Structure 1
Amino acid sequence: MGLQIDEGIPTNRTSSYSPGSKVLLFAFTVLKRTVNEIVMEKNDKHLNYRLSIFLAQNDSKVYVITIIKYHNLGGRSYFGLIKPFHQLIVYSLVKKNLSLTT
């Protein structure tokens, strides 16, 4: 499962992905955007979620890093249910919302 694109991080027509904007299906807040990276967050009372989408210019591949910080048992339980599908969910969100090609 590899995403590849030609140059820069493309955006869809509905968001500029500027810091502070809400993007993607789960209303992530953009923390930082550069030519090669978008860092987003989603905070909840049970867990905090960070998502980094990075384009390596040397090989035109997109790398996605997710970090989850649990606040309580509810966060651990929720992510325990989602974990088997996590990679597929993230891959689908990135591909759909950033208009990437495979």
Structure 2
Amino acid sequence: MIGTVREVTPNVDAGTLLSGAQFVDAFRVEIGAATVNAREACIRMVLHGPRWIGVLIRLRNILVTPFVLKTSGEGAPAPGGMIGLFPVRSETPERLIAGFDDSHLNFRIVVDVSGDAASRHVTLTTLVQTHNRFGRTYLTLIKPFHKLVARSMMGCIVEPAR
């Protein structure tokens, strides 16, 4: 059904994308015959998502500042520029990979667009590799919010302006 977001089994090569990832999940939304490439899907999710997600990200950035963690826009320049707080590491029209490496964890998001002209879908896969106790604790704390955020962001692919 067009616009319905559902959790799916991840279908990526985690070893290639983020070797040693301890957390991988994926969500998919059907977009029908809409012509959207991976960058546009990511832009719709990240830049046109619900406002409450932006509030959560700003709160996260304030809370992690004392721990010297990266916040929005920090780090080395990304080969594909930035989409919101996500540095784009590589992209094709069908797949965009974004994410960064930090002292507590590394993460990647993968946006895949696939299907035929009449029945296309977008899949968002998240991979996380933790490095230490703080990274594992951080992942445990954000996991419940991650699922809610991912589902909400995916809904914006079909309805980009809310």
Amino acid at match of 2:97: V
Q: Could you tell me the TM-score, scaled by structure 2's length?
A: 0.50
Task: Give the structure 2 partner of residue 23 of structure 1.
Answer: 83
Q: 2:144 is aligned with what amino acid?
A: P
Calculate percent identity across the aligned residue pairs: 28
Is the aligned partner of 1:7 residue 2:29?
no
SS at match of 1:60: strand
Secondary structure at 1:48's aligned position in 2? strand
Query: RMSD value over aligned CA atoms?
Result: 2.3
The 1-side partners of 2:152 and 2:99 are apart by 17
Aligned counterparts of 1:70 and 1:90: Cα–Cα separation in 2: 19
Structure 1 stretches of 4+ with a deviation exceeding 4 A read none
* Aligned position for 1:57: 115
Q: Which runs of 5+ in 1 are unaligned?
A: none
Q: State the TM-score, normalized to the length of structure 1.
A: 0.75
Instruction: Output aligned runs, 1:62-77, within 5 Å.
Output: 62-77=122-137
How has the CA–CA distance of structure 1 residues 19 and 91 changed in structure 2, closer, same or farther, with 3 Å as cutoff?
Answer: farther
Structure 2 gap segments, 5+ residues each = 6-28, 48-77
Paired positions, count: 93
By relative contact order (CA 8 Å, sep 6+), the higher-ranking structure is: 2
The CA distance in 1 between the partners of 2:152 and 2:111, in whole Å, is: 13
Task: Read off the aligned partner of 2:158 and give its amino acid letter.
Answer: T
Tell me if structure 2 keeps the 8 A contact 1:8–1:36: no
Larger radius of gyration: 2
How far did 1:51 drift? 0.5
